Amino acid sequence: MNTKTILITGGTGGIGKAAALELAKQSHYIIITGRDKSTAEKAVAEIQEESRNKRVDYLLADMSSLADINNLVEAFKSKYDQLDVLINNVGIVAHERQLSEDNIELNFAVHTLAPFVLYKELLPLLLKAKGARVVNVLTQNHAMVNRHSLSDFQSEQKYMGMNEYGKTKLYNLWWLYDLASSTSPHQISFFGADPGPNNTQLMTNAMQTGKSWPIGLRILRPVVMPIMKSVLKNKPVSNGARSIVFAATAKELEGKTGLYINDKGRIGKSSKLSYDTTKQQEMGKVVEEMYHLTIKKLA
């Protein structure tokens, strides 16, 4: 097997850790990220032991901080000279509108901008690998957005937690498809991966109060909660990892790009709006402009 160097953000817990474990079992070189040193060290030791693969390492970064992302990139470049697969896995649920330390709405900072900045900054290393892949971890919630104007992309006028979560994941998919349309898959392929519902910290946060839910779902909460709980009981995180692992290493995806991998770990379809090429290009421009602004600030 061709050993790949794989960077997966948020690999200390949840679906990211499960995906890191499966990829380590495939004998690849795995670098996970987390925010806390001892949690990251513990996760690395557990993945190494269970996969019997010692080539598992970690780097620290809070994905809501552009300075941290910059440090992560520098640390990665100082240790590795090539990147075969970048997996943008970190996801959050923010019940209230919050700004990152860079004054960017938190969902946008973590789900949309951070993965793009990582991609841009690691591009020279991705180009060194033959047929590198970028995998953005998405959610079916992106399909909750069926009409959209980019005029309020930082949600200053209206904020509803789960909507922002889905919306910023749709943004992430738009720029991914935009790059896929302009990049040869022989250089880099771009895939979205939907893990489906899983019993993780993120899901616990999402279900905690119902505060972030759209009004219709909030009213139905007493009915919805028991259903959700029974669905999640039968969803080990290894299920969630399937789509990510397939997108990262499946041979049948060689030479392909711009695909959405569903929670069964197969090629599927994202929402109708996600295929709007005008929106894809608009979001491509937004993240490119924001990237240049951030780079100037960090220089």
Ligand X SMILES: NC(=O)c1ccc[n+]([C@@H]2O[C@H](COP(=O)([O-])OP(=O)(O)OC[C@H]3O[C@@H](n4cnc5c(N)ncnc54)[C@H](OP(=O)(O)O)[C@@H]3O)[C@@H](O)[C@H]2O)c1
Active-site positions read 165
Site string for ligand X, 135-164 (x = CB under 6 A): --x-x-------------------------
Q: Does 115 bind ligand X (CB under 6 A)?
A: no
Which member of 25, 26, 27, 35 binds ligand X (CB under 6 A)?
35
Distance CA 179, CA 291 (A): 15
Cβ 203 to ligand X shortest distance, Å:
4
Cβ 27 to ligand X shortest distance, Å:
22
What does the block give as tokens for 57? 């390492």
Q: Does 10 bind ligand X (CB under 6 A)?
A: yes
Which member of 3, 36, 79, 231 binds ligand X (CB under 6 A)?
36
Q: Does 166 bind ligand X (CB under 6 A)?
A: no
Helix, coil or strand: residue 278: helix
Q: Which residues contact 112 (CB under 8 A, 6 or more apart)?
A: 168, 171, 172, 175, 283, 287
Site string for ligand X, 74-113 (x = CB under 6 A): ---------------xxxx-----------------x---
* Nearest residue to 146 via CA among 274, 260, 259: 274
- Residues in 48-67 that interact with ligand X by CB under 6 A: 62-64
What does the block give as tokens for 158? 């209206």
What does the block give as tokens for 22? 């499966």
3 close to 29: Cβ distance less than 8 angstroms:
yes
Torsion sign (Cα): 276, 278, 282, 288: positive
Given the rule CB under 6 A, which residues bind ligand X?
A: 10-16, 34-36, 39, 62-64, 89-92, 110, 137, 139, 195, 197-198, 200-203
